[in-house]
Amino acid sequence: MIAPLLSPALLIVGLSPATSAADPALRFSTWKLKNGLHVILHEDHRVPIVAVDLWVHVGSGDEVPGKSGFAHLFEHMMFQGSEHVAEDQHFAVLREVGASMVNGTTSFDRTNYFEVVPANQLETALWLESDRIGTLLSHVNQESLKNQRDVVRNERRQRVDNVPYGSSRMALFAALYPEGHPFRYQVIGKHEDIEGASLEDVKAFFRSWYAPANITLTLAGDVDEPTARALVDKWFGSLLSPPAPVRRPFPVASLQENERLEVKDRFAKLVRLQWTWHGVAQYDADDPDLGVVGDALGAQGWGRLYRRLVVEETLARDVSAGPMGMNATGQFTVGVTLKPGADAARVEQVVREELVRLLAAGPTADEVRRSVVDTETNVLFSLDALLGRAERLQQMNHYTGDPGGLAAYLARVRACTPASAQAAARRWLAKPRVLVVTVPDAAADHQRDAQPKGGAR
């Protein structure tokens, strides 16, 4: 069961930073199988459904040069059938039993697979998950690999290569991280690496990372612990138990001086400015304070840059600011999308002024209060659904080593003060940064539009 929570409406209008009774502490039990599989269980018997959330502790940051995109490619391969599930039938089996929210995602430091099923179909979901982990290598073949390589390369075109500001993101990461750094390339990988992936490469990646001892399974919903233990042991207990892989430490990257890049983008229609600093890992001690700094600068409606650039001087269409944490590292970004014809130099001046002001005096007490309330509200709403609770338990486990670390994180959020936020800003935002200026490439856009239909591609 989940601990008592304040209602969303009450939280929005009345919560103060001193509040502690509303901590949404997720009650859970946890255990490990003999083969090393880590299990986290959160019981909630109010609705007869269960969220199944499986995290493999590997992401694109664990790839080696020349093998970029393998973590994401393998996520695709995991849905292509296994020894007892026909090609492309994983989704179909789950749909047949009434499952929802079936998907998988890959990031720089983890890969997850999830679904929400009726409680009486939990065993079906666990069978499917164990079958693809235990037998995928006997089913994967050259044809399925080729198909998924093509799917992933097309996905890259749709999400990175041929979208507004996609080229800017690639330029940013290339500037932040040196050649050979695991975060230099996008999670989806490089075209040539994906195309060059062989069947043996894929199998080797699976053998290295998809060991039970490198997997955490979280169940959240209408299942009691004795039942969960019996079902998990039935379907996962017999999986082989090779040693857990040793993850390479993510190297710390740094900038020696400010860098400014101009990127011409044939898909962008508006100029965009983005300042990015190296930042802190997810749930790092400075993470809450940098969240306050981000809100003080860019929060919609009341952030300083939002008020000046969007409301008062009407130079910007949107403003954003804040930290993005990963495992062992992160970024802090300020982004501004300009309105047509807006003076980019003036926007840069305003951003500089507000950064200098914030570093000199810190955020106000009211800005801290607003940010804390916003963070607590967002956490509360993320726990509304069972899958959200399963994800939160996984996040805390993966990034902090403690599935029950949410209460401690919220305590750190509430402990933020103008002085602590200012100190965090000085530690991170006084360092060199990268400014990426994205400019619509009208010439390339005109050339593309002028090309005859059916012409060369």
CA 297 to each of CA 13, 305, 306, 360, 439: distance values in angstroms, whole numbers, following the listed order: 22, 5, 7, 14, 23
Pick from 180, 155, 232, 220: nearest CA to 63: 180
Q: Side chain identity at 182, as an amino acid letter?
A: P
Cα 180 to Cα 66, 202, 450: the distances in Å are 9, 21, 40
Amino acid identity of residue 432, one-letter, is P
Tell me the per-residue pLDDT of 134-168, one tens digit each, with 9 for 90 and over. 999 888 888 888 888 999 999 999 888 999 999 99
Closest of 451, 50, 437 to residue 259, by C-alpha: 437
**What digits encode the pLDDT tens for the residues 20-57?**
445 566 899 999 999 999 999 999 999 999 999 999 99
Domain boundaries, given as residue ranges, for the chain:
26-236, 259-446
Of the candidates 386, 350, 108, 113, the one whose C-alpha atom is nearest the C-alpha of residue 247 is 108
Fold agreement between 26-236 and 259-446: yes
Tell me which fold the domain 26-236 belongs to.
Cytochrome Bc1 Complex; Chain A, domain 1 (3.30.830)
Sign of CA dihedral 302, 303, 304, 308: negative
Tokens, residue 290? 């940098």
What is the longest distance spanned by two Cα atoms in the chain? 67
User: What is the pLDDT at residue 239?
Assistant: 96
Which class is 259-446 in CATH? alpha beta
Question: What's the gap between Cα 133 and its chain centre?
Answer: 23
pLDDT tens for each residue of 206-245: 999 999 999 999 999 999 999 999 999 999 999 988 888 8
| β-sheet with 259-265: strand ranges across | 259-265, 434-440, 272-279, 330-338, 316-325
